[in-house]
Amino acid sequence: MFHQALVHKDYEMKPGHTGWRHLVHSTRYSLKGLKAAFRNESAFRQELGLCMVLIPLAWWIGDTPVEWILLVGSCFMVLIVELVNSAIESVVDRIGPERHVLSGRAKDIGSAAVMLALIMAALTWVLLAADKYLSIG
């Protein structure tokens, strides 16, 4: 039975959307999503601006490739979680304008995910910078 679910026609790719064509279409949709987030989400713009400042600083703070990827990766994680949160908020808003406990819960949980990503990024940057400049390690 499990095998049948894997080969069921509902799970097959759309005809004509394989290989390079699929990659091109997927890339277009991804860029469209980034553009929509930039235009419509002020938090995304603010976090992107902060990342544009922090990522060049990662070259000075990170002494090893691992430290560099931790610093840059924490920036990207914030952006990724913000994109997911914005998508959740858009879907909830699309469902309807009325207030509902589940709609509020979904938005609050998405917001909590962004907060945790920001805390993790801040801890990463502070600890690596302190280790380099204050010799705490």
Check whether 112 is labelled as a binding-site residue: no
82 catalytic residue (yes or no): yes
Among 14, 30, 4, 46, which residue's Cα sits nearest to residue 87?
Answer: 30
Q: 82 with 41: CB under 8 angstroms? A: yes
Check whether 21 is labelled as a binding-site residue: no
Q: 68 with 59: CB under 8 angstroms? A: yes
Check whether 9 is labelled as a binding-site residue: no
Check whether 38 is labelled as a binding-site residue: no
What separation, in Å, do the N-terminal and C-terminal C-alpha atoms of the chain show?
Answer: 55
Q: Which residue among the candidates 61, 75, 78, 82 is catalytic per the annotation?
A: 82
Tokens of 1: 């039975």
Check whether 100 is labelled as a binding-site residue: yes
Check whether 63 is labelled as a binding-site residue: no
d(CA 110, CA 99): 16
Binding-site annotation: residue ranges: 29, 41, 43-47, 82, 89, 98-100, 107-108, 111
The residues annotated with a catalytic role in the active site are 82
Binding-site annotation: residue ranges for substrate: 43-47, 82, 111
Binding-site annotation: residue ranges for ATP: 29, 41, 89, 98-100, 107-108
Binding-site annotation: residue ranges for a divalent metal cation: 41, 89
